[in-house]
Structure 1
Amino acid sequence: MPKSKPGQPQGASEGWIRLTAPSGRGQLYVLRDFVSRHLAARDLYVWRPDGADEGAPLPVLYMQDGQNLFDARLVPFGAAWEADASLSRLIDAGQVAPTLIVGVACTRDRFAEYAPALLFDHLSDPARQAVLEAWPGAPKSAAYARMLVEEIKPLIDASFATRPGRESTFVAGSSMGAVAASELLARHPHVFAGAAMLSAHFSLLPVTETERLPEGFSSDVAEAVSLFAQRHMPRAGSHRLWLDRGTLSIDRFYPPAHAALVRALLALGYVEGVDLSVRTFAGASHDEGAWRERLDQALAFLLSPRT
């Protein structure tokens, strides 16, 4: 359970409520209405796996859209990632070490918080205007990153037994949460050792599967993604990246931007199968069920011991 140790911030272990993990594995906690100096209050979820000695420090995986990770009863559309079950399987198989999952819930300002300011800087004026007209408010990714790195991570490290170093700290997300994960890694490569980006929504616009992107928009965004990666993503050698997409629903819009990102990462020295995994899942859609089906693969690549 949340720990108390000398030197922790006063009250760091207070307020955590024990929940029942639907998988029946590990211990699940929630801290309601975590207050940030930078953004709106939100819930934080922490799952600690079985198989770790009490008090043993664990690596930490920070995941976006934390309310969708564990319990379908907490999700408005009734489907969860079941991240606790996924990671438990990998731990049982000896593929990864026991790892703490921190789920950072989103707010009503989800798009602005996840929208990548570093990427926006490289969009053409028409593309930037199209995104800002579709979504209210300018990107708040810098504030989101500060909240996670300066407030949430210190709280987690003070409240639970963790390995706080970069080599033991990871980030993941899906859709716009995957875009947020890429920006978190770009802004703080000294904090995070890797990122898993499932169905990364670099298309940025809130389109449906029956709509089309504006003329020229995909190529504009692909160029911006390439420049973002070239100028902001860490060079190869000490980080690990997973990037995937399906082929159905809005994932069908992703090939241009994803291909641009991969080319830029390869130019930075990343090697597919070593520190970069790029996957396409034929027949997979854009929803929690699809991400749940492949989460084992993403986490196995991201969290497996380095050889």
Structure 2
Amino acid sequence: MRQLVLALPLVLMACTEPQQQNKVSTAAVEVTVLKEAFEMPGLNRSRQVRLYLPPGYGTSDKSYPVLYMHDGQNVFDNATAYAGEWGVDETLNDLAASGQLELIVVAIDNGAEKRMTELNPADHAEFGKAEGKAYVEFIANTVKPYIDQHYRTLADAEHTGIMGSSMGGLISHYAILQFPQVFGKAGIFSPSYWAAGQQVSWFENQPAAQEALLYFYMGGKEGDSMVPDVERVYQAVISKGHATEQTQYHLVADAEHNEAAWRNEFKTAVLWLFNARK
């Protein structure tokens, strides 16, 4: 776990590009890049991970809930983002200052040219053999145990969430279904169900854990089958008996498929996911 990995550019949805010298970092001081890259079992590669700790972490003895996010290059820093960052660190600093939420965020960088297979649980004729199962296992069995061992976390599923957009939304939904004992909440932003092909029916027929919290988001101008697909899956989740008070679906009519839209939605989603039971 010694080799540091920098992602290469990939001109696909919610991707990334390497940091450029003329781009100034916008990451808050609460964000660090973990020094050791994490080996990904079964995938013969390693991955960089970014970490946000709440402002009061260093002066407290509290344990905190944790949110795992994909496309880590886009989460905290405009210098590494493909098309603008989510501003997760600034949003959470504001929420901590107002006493609404203190949260650890673990952001896993995407694999550039491997992104479309790593974040897909289904084989795809164009993109190749799915690696989503191995990727989710990597988060659950490698990254999370490391974070729980080295930081003060509330490690149970009730206090652990997973969130992403586009392909990251797709794999977040898959993760909470595959690992209900690990992830108790999922932010499913603009999920690319189209990439799962015929296996999208799996998401309709696979029930989430009874206590799971699911937050679906979609922009009305994302195009193609994006809106019909998420509404089809959401309705299936409800029809299968998942409690409506544990499920949210937010459609923003004029929003497009981009980081600016996801940044605007993040605060609402994270507050609901981590405060819904209070």
Q: What's the CA shift string for 1:160-214, capped at 9, x where partnerless?
A: 1111111111100000001010111111001111100111111228xxxxxxxxx
- TM-score of the pair, normalised by structure 1: 0.76
- 1:116 is paired with a residue whose SS is coil
The structure-2 alpha-carbon separation of the partners of 1:268 and 1:234, relative to structure 1 and needing over 3 Å to count, comes to same
Which of the residues 160, 183, 186 maps onto 1:192?
A: 183
What residue in structure 1 maps to residue 213 of structure 2?
240
What residue in structure 1 maps to residue 152 of structure 2?
161
- What are structure 1's unaligned runs of at least 5 residues? 1-10, 121-130, 206-219
Output the CA distance in 2 between the equivalents of 1:157 and 1:245. Answer: 32
What residue in structure 2 maps to residue 211 of structure 1?
none
The structure-2 alpha-carbon separation of the partners of 1:21 and 1:30, relative to structure 1 and needing over 3 Å to count, comes to farther
- Tell me if the contact between 2:26 and 2:79 (Cα under 8 Å) persists in the aligned partners: no
Q: What's the CA shift string for 1:84-139, capped at 9, x where partnerless?
A: 1122223333333x11000011102111111123xx6xxxxxxxxxx41x21x211
Is 2:34 the partner of 1:38?
A: no
Q: What's the CA shift string for 1:251-273, capped at 9, x where partnerless?
A: x521221122112211232343x
Which of the residues 106, 111, 121 maps onto 1:116?
A: 121
**How many residues were matched structurally?**
255
- Tell me if the contact between 2:62 and 2:152 (Cα under 8 Å) persists in the aligned partners: yes
Output the CA distance in 2 between the equivalents of 1:171 and 1:193. Answer: 8
Alignment of 1:162-177 (within 5 A): 162-177=153-168
Deviation at 1:159, TM superposition (A): 1.7
Which of the residues 29, 50, 64 maps onto 2:70?
A: 64
- Larger CA Rg, structure 1 vs 2: 1
Output the CA distance in 1 between the equivalents of 2:276 and 2:25. Answer: 26
Output the CA distance in 1 between the equivalents of 2:218 and 2:178. Answer: 23
Output the CA distance in 2 between the equivalents of 1:170 and 1:21. Answer: 26
What residue in structure 2 maps to residue 124 of structure 1?
none
What residue in structure 1 maps to residue 253 of structure 2?
282
Output the CA distance in 1 between the equivalents of 2:52 and 2:25. Answer: 8
Which of the residues 115, 129, 135 maps onto 1:144?
A: 135
Q: What's the CA shift string for 1:49-84, capped at 9, x where partnerless?
A: 11344342111100011111001101244x111111
- What are structure 2's unaligned runs of at least 5 residues? 5-23
- 1:285 is paired with a residue whose SS is coil
- TM-score of the pair, normalised by structure 2: 0.83
What residue in structure 2 maps to residue 95 of structure 1?
100
**Identity, % of aligned positions:** 25
AA at the equivalent of 1:293: N
CA RMSD of superposed structures (Å): 2.4
Output the CA distance in 2 between the equivalents of 1:304 and 1:296. Answer: 12
Is 2:235 the partner of 1:229?
A: no
